[in-house]
Structure 1
Amino acid sequence: MILLTPEMRERLLANGREPDADHVPVVKFFNPLGEGVWLATELDSDGDTLFGLADLGEPELGSFSLAEMTAVRLPFDMAIERDLLFEGMVPISVWVEAAQQTGSIRAAERMLYAAVRSNARASDALPVTL
């Protein structure tokens, strides 16, 4: 699987040119056989160094290598994958806080998606004014 599409790469590089901004994650990578989830918001101009939230047992904000993730070989000839259905929804600071509260990116994702869905339902119930 291609871990980054050209569009994702461009968004990550653009975000990398604004390192002090609170970006929404562009892509989620995961280990399909166990621990390991990464949310990337930025890509350095070297084309390898990603920045975002990584969870290898404890969520941590920092840098990680695309080349190293690509090189990982798991049992059954599997590898690190990109979550094709991932939607960043909220800035990385919200992800960090949710992951610290829940203990993992996966638990934070369930919590944040539920919150976004409930907010969407609440806004659908509001009367429409013309």
Structure 2
Amino acid sequence: MELLTHALRQRLLANGASPGDHVPLVKLFNPLGAATWLITELDVDGDTLFGLADLGFGCPELGSVSLAELVAVRLPLGLGIERDLYFTARHPLSVFAHAARAQGHITEHPDHLAHAAAALARAPAAGRSRSPP
């Protein structure tokens, strides 16, 4: 499976070119493990993705990952990293990061995301950037 279609690449590049707390466009995952990535941006180099990474150790974090490295991962049974074809996000990355830190893993549970969104709405907006609270 192609991890990023041309249309997704274009949308991720547009996000990478504009500052902001973007809604994740892509969810990548290890079909045999706990690793998950929610991706919001692609750098102009065409390889550096930015988003929320959860490698399954209880410490989800914001950061960059190489698309080439994800594509190169070879798992048992001939599998590789996959894209969730049905993923649609309604919250910006800061909400997912806040909920993930509270839960110890990336979560899409509506209650967890609503709680995180409410907590961020109460927090002062000053100083918000790529590093949500």
Q: TM-score range by the shorter chain?
A: 0.7 to 0.9
SS for the counterpart of 2:99 is: helix
Letter of the structure 1 residue corresponding to residue 2 of structure 2: I
| Aligned-partner SS, 1:109 | coil
Counterpart CA distance in 2 for 1:77 and 1:17 is 35
1:86 alignment counterpart: 87
Give the TM-score of the pair, scaled to structure 2.
Answer: 0.80
What code does the residue aligned with 2:68 have? Answer: A
Q: Which amino acid letter does the alignment assign opposite residue 4 of structure 1? A: L
How far is the alpha carbon of 1:110 from its aligned partner? 2.2
Structure 2: runs of 5+ lacking an equivalent: 115-133
TM-score under structure 1 length normalisation:
0.82
Distance (Å, rounded) in 1 between the aligned partners of 2:111 and 2:74 = 30
Give the corresponding residue for 1:11: 11
Instruction: Calculate percent identity across the aligned residue pairs.
Output: 61
- Residue 96 of structure 1 aligns with which residue? 97
Whole-Å Cα distance in 2 between the matches of residues 70 and 52 of structure 1? Answer: 16
- C-alpha root-mean-square deviation of aligned residues, in Å? 1.4
Q: What residue is the counterpart of 1:49 in the other structure?
A: 48
1:73 alignment partner in structure 2 = 74
1:70-100 Cα distance to aligned partner (Å, 9 max, x none): 0000000000000001012100000000000
Unaligned runs of 5+ in 1: 116-130
Mark the structure with the bigger radius of gyration. 1
Name the structure 1 match of 2:29: 30
Cα distance between partner residues in 2 of 1:74 and 1:87:
26
* Equivalent residues in 2 for 1:52-63, closer than 5 Å: 52-56=51-55, 57=57, 58-63=59-64
Q: Which residue of 2 aligns with 1:126?
A: none
Separation in structure 2 between the aligned mates of residue 100 and residue 32 of structure 1, nearest angstrom: 22
